[in-house]
Chains A and B, each alone.
Chain A
Amino acid sequence: GAVVSQHPSWVICKSGTSVKIECRSLDFQATTMFWYRQFPKQSLMLMATSNEGSKATYEQGVEKDKFLINHASLTLSTLTVTSAHPEDSSFYICSAVLVGLGLTYEQYFGPGTRLTVT
């Protein structure tokens, strides 16, 4: 089946520093990827839509200057949390859309990245 990876799986950083999270579709090309954030015991919240070759589209309330998204190729999207603060500590999950036979669109998720800002 389709596989999406994320790196790193967990990261601890100091307040004020920046952290980059990578999302890769390993066995398929994805023109569209999505970034979610999930706090403990809560559901996933969509942060932004990442489109290959164009600017990301951010959901309302998500600061685009703080969460920088780059979709440089059909298999890689990156999320950079700039000037991280403790309240940015969360579980970040990406997903990629696979266009299957018969034009079915299936969304596959990465394993997530646990970010802890101290």
Chain B
Amino acid sequence: DAGVTQSPTHLIKTRGQHVTLRCSPISGHKSVSWYQQVLGQGPQFIFQYYEKEERGRGNFPDRFSARQFPNYSSELNVNALLLGDSALYLCASSLGKAGGPYEQYFGPGTRLTVT
């Protein structure tokens, strides 16, 4: 079975632009989470979606938004890019249903560079 996939792998954007990152979860997984990892730090939680509804939001500005589609894939959007948004963006999927515990499976990430 395919793991979590993310696209694109790398991306270079200019300050002020917007970006859309995409994630496809493992088949059967209904929960998708997004994390940001800046150099030298552990991943930091941005959003979680389950069954197309937002279940959690981390401490990120409103420039960050996300959604989950009926096929459980997800998009992360970042508007008005800042230099500080340069990071590895990770997507993780999980079964996410009652009766856990469950583990999260991470994709390879999208490396975003803002210049």
A, B assembled together = no
Measured CB to CB, the residues of B under 8 A from A are none
Q: Which residues of A contact B (CB under 8 A)?
A: none
